[in-house]
Amino acid sequence: MKTCNILRLAALTSSLIFSAGAIAADSFKIGLILPMTGQQASTGRQEEAAARLYMAQHGDTVAGRKIELIVKDDTTVPDMTKRLAQELIVNDKVNVIAGFGITPSAMATAPLATQSKTPMVVTAAATSSITEASPYVVRTSFTLAQASVSVANWAGKNKISKVITLVSDYGPGKDAEKYFSQTFTANGGQIVESLRVPLMNPDFAPFLQKVRDAKPDALFVFVPSGSGASLMKQFIERGMDKAGIKLIATGDVTDDDQLNGMGDGALGVVTGHHYSAAHPSKMNKDFVKAFEKANNGMRPNFMAVAAYDGMHVIYEALKATKGEGDGDALVTAMKGMKFESPRGPISIDPDTRDIVQNIYMRKVEKQHGQLYNIEFDVLKDVKDPGKTK
Ligand code: VNL
């Protein structure tokens, strides 16, 4: 009798353990680490909204697994990103980590992805070298080299011969400066001066004064998403445009999140980038409409589209591996993936795990009373020019 009870208990316990295991195996966890507060908070706001929209549109069950999105705020502090990633991997046992608002956050976390064999989908940070920091990194955002080379080529063909560059003094800024300058000078242009401003709380005034005094044909700028409006304000206040200095930039500066608030002084600014909310495809029109509807009229920017596509890459990899969720298998499934995004056709380069996409030349114009980046030229299927191999 006693033995029988013990056996019964053992059977019951093992079935409990088994079902707890089954529940855990059922859910597929995505740890999305973003700057929800701090200087780059708009990136977190845009990306979380886009990830949630993707799930609302595509359901939260994929290949039999329930998708669980865990959003964490790294407050734009790289040490915090790393700590949160560690907790998500060790305690929450997430299957994928994603997000990474700024390059130092992605760089601090990449070794953890390698050690734990966890796919790390980079949906924001854009320094070329990030994909080389871990074989588990897959990127759906862009690189500054992609954007800057296109602006340099355009400038060379549009009567701009003397340029000063002004970039945020960290990874993506250095890439923007390097790839713009390299291409522009190869086309016969001249870089008069290369200025770098601090990433955190930059005061552009003294730098812009310098530019005004030097009077180049154009000022080429990169500042990260969220910082463009203050740069533009000071550029206009100083009457730089009236002094005949043209502003050219990567699309981070005329970010759709802030563009409409920049005022008519932004009209005519030419940028190169991979996404505009005004991209005229049917898929993008539907995306913008659904995003605005779900978020009190907030216009999606290039960060939103990268998070939306990042979710797509994760969903499709999970489907391709039939819900298995093993880190190596997921990364293998992501390599070479090809699909239509609201930004246009994109793919994941199977060799570098970086995004291949169209880069558009755009000009700020008014449409229906609002400022937009209107595309006027396209370079198709651009691979990252910044890869060392
Ligand atoms: C980075 C690059 C961040 C481009 C950005 O916005 C951006 C980065 C937050 O790699 O840190 O627009």
Which residue has the least CA distance to atom 5 on ligand 1? 224
Q: Which atom of ligand 1 is nearest to the CA of 252?
A: 12
3-state secondary structure of 222: strand
What is the mean pLDDT of the segment spanning 356-384? 98
Q: How far is the CA of 123 from the centre of ligand 1 (A)?
A: 10
3-state secondary structure of 354: coil
Q: What is the pLDDT of residues 68-97, one digit of tens each?
A: 999 999 999 999 999 999 999 999 999 999
| CATH 3.40.50.2300 domain position(s) in the chain | 11-142+281-353, 145-273+359-382
Dump the DSSP string for 237-293.
HTTTTTTTPEEEEETTTT-TTTGGGS-GGGTT-EEEES--TT---HHHHHHHHHHHH
Distances (CA, A) of 82 to 68, 74, 104, 254, 355: 20, 9, 10, 30, 24
Beta-bridge mates of residue 190: 162
Q: Are 241 and 267 in contact (CB under 8 A)?
A: no
**Res 255 pLDDT > 60:** yes
What is the mean pLDDT of the segment spanning 282-304? 98
Nearest to 35 by CA among 47, 26, 23: 47
**What per-residue confidence (pLDDT) applies to 389?**
57
What is the mean pLDDT of the segment spanning 57-64? 97
What is the mean pLDDT of the segment spanning 223-241? 95
Q: How far is the CA of 79 from the centre of ligand 1 (A)?
A: 17
Q: What is the pLDDT of residues 148-173, one digit of tens each?
A: 999 999 999 999 999 999 999 999 99
Q: Are 181 and 194 in contact (CB under 8 A)?
A: yes
Whether 224 lines ligand 1, by a CB cut-off of 6 Å, is yes
Q: From CA 308, how far away is CA 320, in angstroms rounded?
A: 18
Dump the DSSP string for 7-69.
HHHHHHHHHHHHHHHHHHHHEEEEEEEE-SSSTTHHHHHHHHHHHHHHHHHH-SEETTEEEEE
Encoded tokens for 218: 């154009």
The residue whose CB lies within 8 Å of the most ligand 1 atoms, and thus the one to mutate among 43, 77, 122, 252, is 252
Comparison of pLDDT for 258 and 388, the residue scoring more: 258
Q: From CA 371, how far away is CA 214, in angstroms rounded?
A: 30
Whether 126 lines ligand 1, by a CB cut-off of 6 Å, is yes
The residue whose CB lies within 8 Å of the most ligand 1 atoms, and thus the one to mutate among 103, 105, 141, 230, is 103
Scan for tokens 């770098």, then name that residue. 196
Q: Which atom of ligand 1 is nearest to the CA of 126?
A: 10
Q: How far is the CA of 325 from the centre of ligand 1 (A)?
A: 29
Q: From CA 62, how far away is CA 73, in angstroms rounded?
A: 26
pTM of the model: 0.94
**What per-residue confidence (pLDDT) applies to 26?**
83
Environment class of residue 243 by beta-carbon count within 10 Å: exposed (0-12), middle (13-18) or buried (19+)? exposed
Length of the chain (residues): 389
Q: Give the range among 13-17, 41-45, 103-107, 269-273 with minimum mean pLDDT.
A: 13-17
Whether 172 lines ligand 1, by a CB cut-off of 6 Å, is yes
What residues contact residue 115 under an 8 Å CB cut-off, 6+ apart?
none
**What per-residue confidence (pLDDT) applies to 23?**
45
Q: From CA 206, how far away is CA 143, in angstroms rounded?
A: 28
Query: Is 11-142+281-353 a domain of CATH 3.30.1050.10?
Result: no
**What per-residue confidence (pLDDT) applies to 24?**
46
What is the mean pLDDT of the segment spanning 210-228? 97
Q: What is the pLDDT of residues 3-38, one digit of tens each?
A: 455 555 555 554 444 444 444 458 999 999 999 999
Alpha-carbon torsion (31, 134, 337, 27), positive or negative:
negative
**Res 254 pLDDT > 70:** yes
**What per-residue confidence (pLDDT) applies to 154?**
98
Q: What is the pLDDT of residues 296-344, one digit of tens each?
A: 999 999 999 999 999 999 999 999 999 998 999 999 999 999 999 999 9
Query: Is 145-273+359-382 a domain of CATH 3.40.50.2300?
Result: yes
Q: How far is the CA of 304 from the centre of ligand 1 (A)?
A: 13
Whether 306 lines ligand 1, by a CB cut-off of 6 Å, is no
What is the mean pLDDT of the segment spanning 223-236? 96
Share of the chain above pLDDT 90, in %: 92
Q: From CA 354, how far away is CA 145, in angstroms rounded?
A: 12
